[in-house]
């Protein structure tokens, strides 16, 4: 059985811009952090918890306390809820159909591995009509590094599907950090992007294929079958 693992922001949901704007606003309103560098790829860990950890170390000289991290998550989620109320989140075109096809196939297992916190990731998925609570998943709550989150997702999927391991793991993502983490773990990588420059960079990072979206379901399933 082959495991197909999905990122969330920019991969399943059209939420990259809203997520960044709300995250930066929450940093300002909870911690007073301004002039935040939003080149997330420049951070040691490109995940919600990893970015918050890095910024607190740089500006406060310490990790955020449990209370601070919880307060930040709550405020960040509140801002996302407001953003979605003004402009409901959309799925990447064809995302729901590809997930339904994969979970109904005996050939594939499906999981989620997101650098977002679980509370915000699940809200974005539900608001974009991609609410699949039974799919095994791991989020930034369990680790700072994307590789560790992905490994946790594999372990949860193995338990869910009652398997000791998977023949192949394919990660589907939109970020350069997704491609690099996949390479570090020996996973195949399929990219999702409409940005020509990013498409080139994803191929340079080892993507098997990069798709604009999931509307060409047959082509995507063929790639997932062949890797």
pLDDT of residue 129: 97
Supply the DSSP string of the chain, one letter for each residue. Answer: -EEEEE-SBTTTBS-HHHHHHHHHHHIIIII---S----GGGSSS-SHHHHHHHHHHHHHSSPPPHHHHHHHHHHHHHHHHHHHHHS---BPTTHHHHHHHHHT-SSEEEEEE-SS-HHHHHHHHHHTT---TTS-EE-TTS-SSHHHHHHHHHHHHHHHTT-S--SEEEEEESSHHHHHHHHHHT-EEEEE-S-HHHHHHHHHTT-SEEESSSS-HHHHHHHHHH-
pLDDT in tens, the chain (227 residues): 999 999 999 999 999 999 999 999 999 999 999 999 999 989 999 999 999 999 999 999 999 999 999 999 999 999 999 999 999 999 999 999 999 999 999 999 999 999 999 999 999 999 999 999 999 999 999 999 999 999 999 999 999 999 999 999 999 999 999 999 999 999 999 999 999 999 999 999 999 999 999 999 999 999 999 99
pLDDT of residue 171: 98
For the chain, the structural domain boundaries read 2-15+89-226, 16-86
pLDDT of residue 186: 96
pLDDT of residue 16: 96
pLDDT of residue 170: 98
Fold held by 2-15+89-226: Rossmann fold (3.40.50)
pLDDT of residue 115: 96
pLDDT of residue 193: 96
Per residue in 62-78, pLDDT tens?
999 999 999 999 999 99
pTM reported for the whole predicted model: 0.95
């Amino acid at each position: 059985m082959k495991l197909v693992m999905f990122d969330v922001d920019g991969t399943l949901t059209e939420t990259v811009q809203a997520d960044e704007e709300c995250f930066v606003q929450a940093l300002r309103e909870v911690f007073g952090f301004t002039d935040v560098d939003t080149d997330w790829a420049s951070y040691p860990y490109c995940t919600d918890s990893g970015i918050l950890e890095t910024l607190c170390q740089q500006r406060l000289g310490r990790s955020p306390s449990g209370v601070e991290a919880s307060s930040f998550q709550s405020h960040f989620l509140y801002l996302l809820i407001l953003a979605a109320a003004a402009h409901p989140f959309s799925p990447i075109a064809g995302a729901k159909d590809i997930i339904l096809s994969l979970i109904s196939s005996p050939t594939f297992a499906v999981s989620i591995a997101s650098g977002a916190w679980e509370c915000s990731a699940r809200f974005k998925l539900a608001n974009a009509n991609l609410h699949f609570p039974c799919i095994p998943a791991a989020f930034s709550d369990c680790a700072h590094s994307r590789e560790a989150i992905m490994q946790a997702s594999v372990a949860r999927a193995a338990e869910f599907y009652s398997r000791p391991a998977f023949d192949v793991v394919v990660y589907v993502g939109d970020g350069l950090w997704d491609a690099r983490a996949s390479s570090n773990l020996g996973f195949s990588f399929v990219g999702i992007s409409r940005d020509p420059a990013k498409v080139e960079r994803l191929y340079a990072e080892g993507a098997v294929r990069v798709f604009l979206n999931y509307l060409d379901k047959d082509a995507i399933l063929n790639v997932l079958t062949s890797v």
